Every structure is written in structure tokens, then in C-alpha cells.
Amino acid sequence: MPTSEEATADRLTSNQCWDYIRRAQFGRLAVIVDGQPEIFPINFAVDHGSVVFRTAAGTKLSGALSGNTVAFEIDGYDDNLSSAWSVVLKGTASLLADNEDLLASEDLPLFPWQAGTKNAFVRIDPEVTSGRRFIISNVARRNVLRGMGLYTE
């Protein structure tokens, strides 16, 4: 049974979720590190129904590969700020080690935000895909526009 909160948002179908994911290039990865949640911004590509990102050694990589489930999120506004949406994938992350995988991934549009060595490719195989779309209230819309400097009343 939906909570009162969920009752006011539309659940997206899996197809709708993937439409958003394919159009996005940038999301956030949540992993558990030492029993605590961590969030990292990542840019990513979609490859055969999975999400692939590129990273260097560090907390993001070790957290992603710790054996726990990871969560990946993208969000945004639809045209005219009439609605906001959020899509979350949950699944397991694995390092791409196979040569064929790596070669294929080199062709993915994974341009790192910053220059630097980001030699590990990580794939998230989604087990759960969920998304919600919220109708934005007029007050919230004005607030968002104000934040963008587009509403000054």
C-alpha cells in the first residue's frame, strides 16, 4: 500500500525509467563504506541495459565493489517545470576486466568531467529499477524559477 507521500507521485514504468536514463549523462552513486552511506557524482553511459561508469582507484571504486548493493540515481525537471522526476537503479557493481568488455567500453561516451587517470570501468547490473514523477506545486515551481533567477515577483 502506498504511503501518503507515494500516493501523490506517479510510478514510472521500467521503459519510462530507461528513457530518462538514456537521455541523462550524469547521476549519483550511493555505496556503503564502513557501514555508512556515501554519495558520489558520476557520469555514465548505458550499455546493454546496464550503467557503466569510469573511475580511478579510491573510495568510490572500493565502495562500489564491496559486494553490497549500490544505488544509482538521476533526476530532473520536465519541460516547463510541470513535473520533476527521479529514477533509481539498485543492483550489483562489478569491475569490467574482460578484454572484450573493456574494448567495447572504450567506445562508450564516457568523457570524464575532469582530466586525470580514470582507468577502471565499473558496470552496474540493475536488479530493481524504479522511478517516480511528481507534479510540481505552483509554490515549488516559483521557488525553482526564483533559484534560477527567472522569477522575481
Comparing CB distances to a copy of itself, the nearer of 70 and 96 is 70
Residue 66 DSSP label: S
> Residue 42 corresponds to which cell in the numbers above?
558520476
**Three-state SS for 153?**
coil
The residue from 11, 13, 41, 102 that contacts a copy of itself (CB under 8 A) is 41
Residues that bind a copy of itself (rule: CB under 8 A) add up to a total of 57
**How far is residue 57 CA from its own chain's centroid?**
20
**Three-state SS for 134?**
strand
> Residue 153 corresponds to which cell in the numbers above?
515577483
**How far is residue 148 CA from its own chain's centroid?**
23
Q: Round to whole Å and give the CA distance between 54 and 47.
A: 13
Comparing CB distances to a copy of itself, the nearer of 97 and 115 is 115
The residue from 43, 78, 95, 101 that contacts a copy of itself (CB under 8 A) is 43
Comparing CB distances to a copy of itself, the nearer of 40 and 47 is 40
- Phi first, then psi, for residue 31 (nearest 5°) are -135, 165
Minimal distance in Å, beta carbon 103 to a copy of itself? 20
Comparing CB distances to a copy of itself, the nearer of 5 and 98 is 5
**Three-state SS for 152?**
coil
> Residue 20 corresponds to which cell in the numbers above?
530518462
The residue from 24, 46, 65, 95 that contacts a copy of itself (CB under 8 A) is 24
The residue from 11, 14, 49, 113 that contacts a copy of itself (CB under 8 A) is 113
The residue from 16, 50, 68, 94 that contacts a copy of itself (CB under 8 A) is 68
Does 151 bind a copy of itself (CB under 8 A)? Our answer is no
> Residue 32 corresponds to which cell in the numbers above?
556503503
The residue from 3, 15, 80, 152 that contacts a copy of itself (CB under 8 A) is 3
